[in-house]
Amino acid sequence: MALVEKKKDAGSIGETLKTVFYAVLIAFGVRTFAYEPFNIPSGSMIPTLLIGDYLFVSKFSYGYSKHTVAFGLPLFEGRVLGKTPERGDVAVFKLPRDNKTDYIKRVIGLPGDTVQMIGGVLHINGKAVQRDRIEDYVAKDSLGRETRVAQYIETLPNGKKHRIIEETDHGALDDTPLYKVPENHLFMMGDNRDNSLDSRVPSMVGYVPVENVVGRAEFLFFSLEDGTRFFEVWRWPFDLRFSRLFNGVN
């Protein structure tokens, strides 16, 4: 009788280990080939993305590299089924400086493009990008006080439209040198133009190798007010941004 029980125990442990193995394998496959969740910790992409947003990034949009593989395993070099991101896409990439830190910005310059900021206005290939003033972007600080920032709709050369905010047209990154995007690289910028560390700062971000792109931001699946942590479930009824749930990322 004791022998039978030991065999049952051994079989039960084996089945548990097999289940765990398959679960890990499926999770690895989904995160590598399909979608991976990310959260937004900074305001560099306001008004498109807010601090506290949680979104899914599609891994298949641009093909696969060592940076798209789950857990960062260096299984191969180069890019498989590679596709260059489109101008205006919002994409997650590994910071070139360390190839580890995840950044999310908008694709502004493609290989061979020239990019420059002049008086707060984006110029691509020598032409000013159209921006149209719309209503102010209104936000509230931690004390509930309203702040207003100038908001524009920017229309990129391929017709892609998105919103940006500008506190001033005379900030540190509103007048830049002329950048020429190298082959197999991208020029990335945040929509919060005066508060974004991006390709305009060569020493910190600079040009982003296409190989470093993790995937394209697709849609929000969760969003909490700034300052509320995900595990603070008791605050969800008050701090959950219901209006942002399942919105696509434009």
Determine which one of 61, 105, 196, 199 is catalytic.
Answer: 105
Our answer to whether residue 161 is catalytic in this structure is no
DSSP string, the chain: -HHHHHHHHHHHHHHHHHHHHHHHHHHHHHHHHTEEEEE--SSTTTTTS-TTEEEEEESSSS-EETTTSGGG----SSEES--PPPTT-EEEEE-TTTS-SEEEEEEEE-TT-EEEEETTEEEETTEEPEEEEEEEEEEE-TTS-EEEEEEEEEE-TTS-EEEEEES-SSSTTSS-PPEEPPTTEEEEE-SBTTS--STT-TTTT-SEEGGGEEEEEEEEEEEB-TT--TT-GGGHHHHB-GGGTTPBP-
105 annotated active-site: yes
Catalytic sites, residue numbers: 44, 105
